Amino acid sequence: MKSDLLLLVITVVVALIFDFLNGFHDAANSIATVVSTRVLSPKLAVLWAAVFNFVAAFFLGTAVAKTIGQGMIR
């Protein structure tokens, strides 16, 4: 029973970490677009995406997750 609980905790922690980091993968779409059209250099595009990812994380926080998850748990 103890090993089942440990496996559950590890699975939940890994899932939460993956879900948090998954948002950073979406930046590749915007970076590819501005780099391929030569609007920004690759370094500037990565910097641009990084700045806005951190701005969104600090100012918007979990508002989207709370809205989507509303009513799922009673």
Question: Where are the chain's structural domains?
Answer: 2-68
Going residue by residue through the chain (74 aa), what tens digit of pLDDT does each one get?
788 899 999 999 998 888 777 766 677 888 888 999 999 999 999 899 888 878 877 887 777 777 777 777 66
Query: What's this model's pTM, rounded to 2 decimal places?
Result: 0.50
* Residue 57 neighbours by CB distance under 10 Å: 13
Query: CA-to-CA distance for 18 and 24, rounded, in angstroms?
Result: 10
The answer to whether 20 touches 53, Cβ cutoff 8 Å, is: no
